[in-house]
Structure 1
Amino acid sequence: MIKTVLIDDEPAIRRDLKQLLDNHPDFIVVADCGSIKDALPVLKATQPQLVLLDIHLEDGDGFEILQHFHPIPFSVIFITAYNDYAIKAIKYGAMDYLLKPVYEEDLDQALHKVRAANNNGGTLPEQVDVTQSWLNKPANTDKTVATDRIVLRTQEYLQVVPLQEIIYCQSDAGYTYFFLTDKRKIVVSKSIKEYEEILPTNLFIRSHQSYLVNYLFVDRFIKDGLLVLRTGQEIPVSSRRKDYVVQFLTGK
């Protein structure tokens, strides 16, 4: 049995989650509450394996709860109202999340990940830190690097990667390959479009439908349609993106 605690300041959300979790007999809700004040003693008393945690609570945010645990001894699934900025932050940290109102199919998928999860290798604190770093930045700084790291979720592990170590990304059949400065290649089962949406727009250039390039590694642009990187790779530039690439490189 996977002991679960629900923390959300909306009683209706907690009620709905309990009803949905009734369909999963291997998960048992041992407690629920709606504030940081109530959550801390509940978590210490029940010692759950899973916490469904609202980001915004009546007396603070969910991250304040997590800061009381070193290391964090349970899995976390965030619950949030739809907010592009919050979702971007969660994706930066590769955290699991549910949007309100919570639908059965979305919860089923999240719980499946919990069942299948292996030891995170100590990366949960880093995931939380990366996510919170993003949330702590002003929401209107689209041209600013909000955090200097991203967490990549592979089939085997979670990898924390500094943005300055990503040379470029390449898509292939629904997967995205990250090519790093230490010659590693990390494969993630998400589309390159998703990473285009969350990586900082002042740093990464979408030169082609299959490539996303870190500007810091661009050496020159060949007008026939190639970006030559300082590391020697040649990245294609599609004809319809040439003007965009020139504008990006010249700062116009």
Structure 2
Amino acid sequence: MKVYILEDESHILQYIISLVDDNPHLELVGYSTSIAKAKLELPNLQPDLILSDIQLEDGNSLSLFSEIPTDLQIIFITAYDQFALQALNLGALAYLLKPLDTDAFTAAIEKCHQKTEKFKVQKQQTQLALQHFAAPQFSKKIALRSTDVIEIVNIEDILYCNSDKGYTTFHLADKSKILVSKVLKEFDSLLPSPLFFRCHQSYLINTNFLKKYYKDGQIEMCNGAIIPVSQRKRAELIAHIDANF
């Protein structure tokens, strides 16, 4: 089977490539760290199987697969363990959780290989998955796993999140904080838009608690916290404010 990989974390990408190279059923025909590049390459390469992350730096891969009419199978390799999995089952052959388990990967590939015919990712199914994943009827709660406890938090009580060195801190309306050993990227799609806005590589804010925007590129939250807005996000934030307030 011809395989294409879509993954933007370099160490995971290299590990997946090594697994593909070691599997006699697989032939690597290409890989990308961005959705934009994959969108250009996939129609020409026409792989039988795509191994894909969900949330990449330049967007959500579900939207890509709903746009490309091609015969393929998809295995999602993801860090998400809530909300998204039900949606993925609608349009994907399988999903594997990070860190990637070699035996689980081999079993999923064997499942692909045993199929005598390629199966098509039905556009209707994938669109349903995309709608489920991005729909406004998100769960009102999120489970945050710290070192000693799992805390169930109302999404509307989250003021903002900030990341640092592989950890994400959740700042809550009651002034408490929860430190989670996951990067901010993993919560980007779990926290619904337009309520939450990624204003900076290290910050994701709840716009309900936005108090002021300063034209020098800073946000003041209702608790007095000052948060930077990246240069490329400033125009988008102003448009977001104009559209939603």
TM-score (norm 2): 0.52
- Distance change in 2, residues 1:130/1:7 (3 Å): same
Of 92, 95, 101, which residue of structure 1 is paired with 2:99? 101
CA contact under 8 A between 1:90 and 1:131: conserved in structure 2? yes
Residue in 1 that maps onto 2:21: 22
- Alignment coverage as a number of residue pairs: 140
Q: Secondary structure at the match of 2:29?
A: strand
Amino acid at match of 1:97: Y
CA deviation digits over 1:126-148, x for unaligned, max 9?
A: 33123222212343158xxxxxx
CA deviation digits over 1:179-233, x for unaligned, max 9?
A: xxxxxxxxxxxxxxxxxxxxxxxxxxxxxxxxxxxxxxxxxxxxxxxxxxxxxxx
Q: Secondary structure at the match of 2:22?
A: coil
What are structure 2's unaligned runs of at least 5 residues?
A: 142-245
- Distance change in 2, residues 1:126/1:53 (3 Å): same
Matches within 5 A, 1:44-193: 44-70=43-69, 72-93=70-91, 95-119=93-117, 124-137=122-135, 138-141=137-140
Amino acid at match of 1:126: Q
Amino acid at match of 1:43: L
Q: Secondary structure at the match of 1:48?
A: coil
CA contact under 8 A between 1:81 and 1:99: conserved in structure 2? yes
Q: Secondary structure at the match of 2:100?
A: coil
* In structure 2, C-alpha distance between the alignment counterparts of 1:49 and 1:94, rounded to whole Å: 13
CA contact under 8 A between 1:55 and 1:80: conserved in structure 2? yes
* In structure 2, C-alpha distance between the alignment counterparts of 1:123 and 1:12, rounded to whole Å: 28
* In structure 2, C-alpha distance between the alignment counterparts of 1:16 and 1:4, rounded to whole Å: 14
TM-score (norm 1): 0.50
Identity among equivalent pairs (%): 29
RMSD across aligned C-alpha pairs, in angstroms?
2.2
CA contact under 8 A between 1:80 and 1:100: conserved in structure 2? yes
CA contact under 8 A between 2:5 and 2:50: conserved in structure 1? yes
What are structure 1's unaligned runs of at least 5 residues?
A: 143-252
CA contact under 8 A between 1:55 and 1:79: conserved in structure 2? yes
* In structure 2, C-alpha distance between the alignment counterparts of 1:94 and 1:69, rounded to whole Å: 14
Decide which structure has the larger Cα Rg and report it: 1
Deviation (angstroms), 1:59: 0.7
Deviation (angstroms), 1:29: 1.0
CA contact under 8 A between 1:89 and 1:135: conserved in structure 2? yes
Q: Secondary structure at the match of 2:83?
A: helix
- Distance change in 2, residues 1:5/1:99 (3 Å): same
CA deviation digits over 1:56-84, x for unaligned, max 9?
A: 011111122213322x3211111210321
